[in-house]
């Protein structure tokens, strides 16, 4: 089951149970609340009628006028719309009894005059000085009846007024309220579900971005951590920091393994030569082994110096901004390599026609880059061949390329060129440390430039590109 479906299902169940519970409580309180309000109004109405009848009963007057007024009241025609519910008749029942509970007036049943209502709870309790109310069945259904005492001038109890209202007349208001609450509850439930779906979609979308990032990292891709908000953003940043730490650890582990491999050969040669020099040897052999010690020591020194140069370049952060004549730096490199060029009878094509080109960078680092590229080409160029140089400005970029006519590099290892300690075998059978191209690649990256390789048929062509600076 997908994470999004699980979250949405949990949210749906939680929202549904909450809505059901709340609606049940609210709807369960509607009917009692309406009846409580109506009962309060009946209490006020009963006391009002009791005041109207008190004077006539205290003075023993004829109650016919009062009965007529109350009868006309109950028969009045009304047309009122109360919050959408139409009311067309008055449905109060009012009856008046004396102090013994005998009926004097009954608007609901005029023929009941003279009957004894003293056993009915509303009248009985009022006569006892209590709050009198009852609910009873009648022809019009269940009726709520509330009574109030009628008192004389001295406060003595002289009668009881009871006002009743059929519960059925309240059902329309209750049904309307329940319907409104139900609709509102359904609307709130739908809104909460939509909100839950939106939150779930947002959560799943962000989690999937994190998952895609984790899968890319697992596959070895240098992916960028997703930019997220809140705790998920903190998690993404923590994952990226962990990735960088792991990559750095793996990077240095590879370097240590490669460095150990590179050091093994000269150290083995030094140990072997040293052990032989401890024995009695002819002068020629002693001289040969001593020369081997010097050569292997120089190899170790070169390896250490290049490794330090590479580490120094990797620590650089700010892009260099000095104005440098790249053509002049290249001429200095050519002059430093002239003895070796002459020794191997290798010609440099294009060295005499270098255009003036100004770039922003570090002169020493650019000299190191160009020197390593030229020396690398010399190592692979056959004796008596040529190395092609080209330097030109193209728009906002400066491009330098050189090509040797050596054995070249298999296409499948192009991606590894420039990696520390990776090198192909030279024509003389030797194999370098690979730090020369690694340093060149790091210098290019420091200058926000690029270093790329391509097959030249025969040989290898190297392209170095960086931004130019207008003179």
The predicted-structure confidence for 61-74, as pLDDT tens digits, reads as follows 888 898 888 888 88
Q: What is the mean pLDDT of residues 96-125?
A: 91
Q: What is the mean pLDDT of residues 255-267?
A: 56
Supply the pTM of this predicted model: 0.44
CA distance 352 to 202: 64
Calculate what percentage of the chain has a pLDDT beyond 90: 13
pLDDT at 429: 57
Q: What is the mean pLDDT of residues 52-60?
A: 89
Phi–psi pair at 107, nearest 5 degrees: -70, -25
Give the H or E element holding residue 185.
helix 168-218
pLDDT at 253: 54
Q: How far apart are the first and last CA of the chain?
A: 65
User: What's the pLDDT band for 101 if we cut at 50, 70, 90?
Assistant: very high
CA distance 63 to 102: 14
User: What's the pLDDT band for 371 if we cut at 50, 70, 90?
Assistant: confident
CA distance 58 to 140: 33
pLDDT at 410: 78
pLDDT at 96: 94
pLDDT at 263: 57
pLDDT at 31: 73
Average confidence score pLDDT of the chain: 78
- Higher model confidence: residue 78 or residue 251? 78
Residues 461, 300, 402: CA angle, nearest 5 degrees: 10
C-beta neighbour count of 222 within 10 angstroms: 8
Bond from prior residue into 458 cis (ω within 30 degrees of 0): yes
- The pLDDT tens digits of the residues spanning 72-96 come to 888 888 888 877 778 778 888 899 9
pLDDT at 119: 92
Q: What is the mean pLDDT of residues 216-244?
A: 71
pLDDT at 190: 79
CB of 111 closer than 8 Å to CB of 105 = no
CA distance 57 to 54: 5
Residue closest to 172 by CA, chosen among 244, 250, 81: 81
pLDDT at 436 over 80: no
Calculate what percentage of the chain has a pLDDT beyond 70: 77
pLDDT at 251: 52
CA distance 276 to 274: 5
- What are the DSSP calls for 209-226, one per residue? HHHHHHHHHHTT--PPPP
Q: Which of 143-152, 171-180, 197-206, 310-319 has the lowest mean pLDDT?
A: 310-319
pLDDT at 259 over 60: no
- Higher model confidence: residue 172 or residue 259? 172
pLDDT at 330: 87
pLDDT at 157 over 90: yes
Which residue is listed with tokens 């004396």? 98
The winner for highest mean pLDDT among 29-38, 66-75, 96-105, 313-322 is 96-105
pLDDT at 308: 65
CA distance 155 to 380: 129
Token pair listed for 113: 């005059």
């Amino acid at each position: 089951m997908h994470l999004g479906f699980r979250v949405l299902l949990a949210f749906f169940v939680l929202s549904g149970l909450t809505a059901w519970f709340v609606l049940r409580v609210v709807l369960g309180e509607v009917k009692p609340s309406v009846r409580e309000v109506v009962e309060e109004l009946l209490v006020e109405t009963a006391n009002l009628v009791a005041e109207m009848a008190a004077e006539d009963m205290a003075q023993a007057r004829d109650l016919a006028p009062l009965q007529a007024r109350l009868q006309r009241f109950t028969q009045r025609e009304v047309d009122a719309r109360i919050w959408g519910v139409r009311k067309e008749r008055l449905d109060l029942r009012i009856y008046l009894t004396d102090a013994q509970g005998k009926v004097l007036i009954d608007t609901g049943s005029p023929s009941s005059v003279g009957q004894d209502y003293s056993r009915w709870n509303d009248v009985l309790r009022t006569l006892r000085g209590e709050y009198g109310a009852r609910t009873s069945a009648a022809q019009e259904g269940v009726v709520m009846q509330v009574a109030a005492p009628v008192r004389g001038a001295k406060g003595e109890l002289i009668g009881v007024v009871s006002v009743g209202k059929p519960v059925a007349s309240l059902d329309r208001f209750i049904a309307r309220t329940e319907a409104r609450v139900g609709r509102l509850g359904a609307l709130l439930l739908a809104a909460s579900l939509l909100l839950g779906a939106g939150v779930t979609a947002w959560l799943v979308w962000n989690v999937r971005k994190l998952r895609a990032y984790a899968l890319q990292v697992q596959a070895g891709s240098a992916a960028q951590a997703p930019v997220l908000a809140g705790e998920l953003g903190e998690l993404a940043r923590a994952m990226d920091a962990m990735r960088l730490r792991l990559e750095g650890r793996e990077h240095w582990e590879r370097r240590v393994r490669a460095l150990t491999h590179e050091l093994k050969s000269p150290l083995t040669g030094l140990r072997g030569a040293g052990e032989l020099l401890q024995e009695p040897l002819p002068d020629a052999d002693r001289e040969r082994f001593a020369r081997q010690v010097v050569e292997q020591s120089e190899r170790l020194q070169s390896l250490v110096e290049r490794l330090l140069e590479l580490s120094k370049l990797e620590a650089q952060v700010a892009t260099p901004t000095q104005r440098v004549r790249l053509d002049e730096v290249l001429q200095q490199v050519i002059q430093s390599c002239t003895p070796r060029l002459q020794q191997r009878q290798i010609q440099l094509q294009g060295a005499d026609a270098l255009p003036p080109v100004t770039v922003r960078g570090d002169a020493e680092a650019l000299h190191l880059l160009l020197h390593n590229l030229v020396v690398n080409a010399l190592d692979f160029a056959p004796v008596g061949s040529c190395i092609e140089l080209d330097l030109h400005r193209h728009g906002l970029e400066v491009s330098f390329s050189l090509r040797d006519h050596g054995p070249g590099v298999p296409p499948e290892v192009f991606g590894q060129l420039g990696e520390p300690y990776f090198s192909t075998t030279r024509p003389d059978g030797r194999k370098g440390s690979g730090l020369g191209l690694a340093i060149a690649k790091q210098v290019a990256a420091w200058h926000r430039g690029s270093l790329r390789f391509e097959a030249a048929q025969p040989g290898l062509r190297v392209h170095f590109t960086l931004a130019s600076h207008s003179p």
